[in-house]
């Protein structure tokens, strides 16, 4: 479950990004994140744990510095022992924004899960710090995380493997690079395992800005596929064998683009201004 808010309504934004966000032209998603965190006065922490490239953290430092953010720290955590470091926790506790890079989401769950750093990120978000993650980082922010799975448009039993994520929200399951990698089937398979949650399929260069009042605002060049199984009338998941297609009846689906909103509590979608 998400960390309790010390003051109701102060929880920071949760911002899963579908990957391949613009880093060189208008940088709109990253700019919006930095502005929400305080602009020039923001105190950002980049966590590149998902990536095995040494340059990943520094690349985002350069991007945020181009956006005039003066203080950007990198927590280059590659071992669980480093995620228990009190100095790292102290840096997080002073932050106004935390950013998880892309890579492999299993590195995030296995290296950070349950550590002092993970607990600190949860507390910071509950107190008002904004937390964003791109690609693997986007998958990690929710309680139920897609670890890996096969591509395709049809849900297939055994198509996806879930594991615990960071748990900033338990209302959504996130999948990234959504249209580009044909991941509708695996997101719907994940939801068939857990019909409580709402599926968010994030295209590249597209983000869901999830506010404390449970409203999502879409920002970016692509779309977000919202899969709502709250009125699911029938699922064959418990009856089929692994590798067989799954029947799902009563699924609601929305395609939302820049400026559109979606309420996680009432499950209502509103088109963006350009529409």
d(CA 179, CA 131): 24
Domains: count for the chain = 1
- The answer to whether residue 275 sits within a structural domain is no
How many CB atoms are closer than 10 A to CB 80? 14
d(CA 228, CA 268): 10
- The answer to whether residue 184 sits within a structural domain is yes
Domain CATH code at residue 145: 3.40.50.880
Does residue 213 carry a pLDDT above 60?
Answer: yes
- The answer to whether residue 77 sits within a structural domain is yes
Show the CA angle centred on residue 251, arms to residues 249 and 254, nearest 5°.
155
Which sign, positive or negative, has the C-alpha torsion 140, 143, 147, 153? negative
Domain membership of residue 96 as a residue range? 14-263
pLDDT in tens, 50-89: 999 999 999 999 999 999 999 999 999 999 999 999 999 9
How much is the pLDDT for 67?
98
Does residue 275 carry a pLDDT above 80?
Answer: no
- The answer to whether residue 225 sits within a structural domain is yes
- The answer to whether residue 132 sits within a structural domain is yes
Q: Assign 12 a pLDDT band (cuts: 50, 70, 90).
A: very high
How much is the pLDDT for 3?
77
Q: Assign 42 a pLDDT band (cuts: 50, 70, 90).
A: very high
Pair of tokens at residue 145: 């995380």
| Range 116-120 average pLDDT | 98
pTM of the model: 0.97
| Range 76-103 average pLDDT | 98
Q: Do the Cβ atoms of 103 and 51 come closer than 8 Å? A: yes
How much is the pLDDT for 6?
78
- The answer to whether residue 268 sits within a structural domain is no
Q: Assign 4 a pLDDT band (cuts: 50, 70, 90).
A: confident
- The answer to whether residue 5 sits within a structural domain is no
- The answer to whether residue 271 sits within a structural domain is no
Q: Assign 194 a pLDDT band (cuts: 50, 70, 90).
A: confident
Does residue 1 carry a pLDDT above 70?
Answer: no
d(CA 184, CA 216): 20
pLDDT in tens, 144-187: 999 999 999 999 999 999 999 999 999 999 999 999 999 999 99
Q: Do the Cβ atoms of 198 and 172 come closer than 8 Å? A: yes
How much is the pLDDT for 274?
63
Q: Assign 253 a pLDDT band (cuts: 50, 70, 90).
A: very high
Catalytic residues: 135, 177, 204
d(CA 12, CA 210): 9
């Amino acid at each position: 479950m998400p960390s309790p808010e010390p003051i109701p309504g102060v929880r920071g934004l949760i911002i899963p990004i579908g990957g391949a966000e613009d880093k060189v032209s208008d940088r709109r998603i990253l700019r919006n994140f930095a502005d929400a965190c305080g602009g020039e006065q923001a105190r950002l922490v980049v966590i590149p744990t998902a990536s095995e490239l040494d340059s990943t953290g520094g690349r985002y430092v350069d991007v945020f510095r181009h956006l005039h953010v003066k203080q950007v720290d990198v927590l280059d955590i590659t071992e669980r022992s480093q995620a228990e470091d009190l100095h790292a926790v102290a840096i997080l506790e002073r932050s106004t924004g935390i950013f998880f890079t892309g890579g492999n989401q299993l590195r995030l769950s296995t290296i950070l899960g349950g550590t002092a750093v993970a607990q600190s990120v949860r507390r910071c978000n509950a107190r008002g710090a904004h937390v964003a993650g791109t690609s693997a980082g986007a998958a990690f922010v929710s309680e139920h995380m897609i670890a890996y799975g096969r591509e395709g448009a049809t849900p297939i039993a055994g198509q996806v493997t879930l594991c615990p994520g960071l748990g900033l929200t338990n209302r959504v399951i996130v999948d990234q690079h959504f249209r580009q990698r044909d991941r509708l089937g695996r997101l719907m398979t994940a939801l068939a395992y857990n019909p409580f949650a709402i599926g968010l399929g994030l295209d590249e260069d597209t983000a869901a800005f999830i506010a404390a009042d449970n409203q999502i605002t879409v920002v970016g060049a692509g779309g977000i596929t919202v899969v709502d199984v709250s009125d699911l009338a029938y699922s064959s998941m418990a009856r089929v064998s692994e590798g067989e297609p799954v029947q799902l009846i009563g699924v609601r689906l929305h395609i939302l683009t820049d400026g559109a909103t979606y309420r996680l509590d009432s499950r209502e979608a509103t088109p963006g201004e350009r529409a």
